[in-house]
Amino acid sequence: MTVGDQVKQAVASLKSAQASFESFALQTNNQNAKQMYQNAAQQTQTIVQQIEQRVQEMIDEEPEYGNQ
């Protein structure tokens, strides 16, 4: 597995974590916990965006990463 693939996998994991946070936020009735899960989902989203940008850069630099 190339580094590119590993980075993509990390992005996928993060996205799944973000989705879990969102669903936990919906499930709980505790206002504190809800707020906390929403924050966590938002911050995870920011991280995902940063790393996705990097993935795009890698694809631009070395196109073979993109078509695997």
Partner 1 sequence: MPTYLEMIIRAVAIFFILFILARILGKKQISQLTFFDYVTGIAIGSMAASVAIRQDQSFLYGFIGLSVFTGLSLLFSFLSLKSLTMRDLIEGNPTVLVQNGEVLEDNLKKVRLTHADLMMGLRRQNVFKLSDVETAILETNGRISVMKKSQNQPLTPKDIGLSVLEESSPSLVIVDGHVLEKRLSYLGYTKEWLKGEVMKQGASEFEDVFLAQIDSQGNVYVDLRKDQNRSEKVPQKPLLAAQLRKVQADLEMFALQTNDQNAKQMYYNQSKELDKVIQMVNPYMKQ
CB of 66 to partner 1, least distance (A): 17
CB of 53 to partner 1, least distance (A): 8
CA distance 37 to 20: 9
- For binding to partner 1 (CB under 8 A), which residues are involved? 3, 6-7, 9-10, 13-14, 16-17, 20-21, 24, 27-30, 32-33, 36-37, 39-40, 43-44, 46-47, 50-51, 54, 57
Give long-range contacts, CB 8 A cutoff, 24+ apart: 12-21: 14/44, 14/47, 14/48, 14/51, 15/48, 17/44, 18/44, 18/45, 18/48
Nearer to partner 1, 3 or 67 (CB): 3
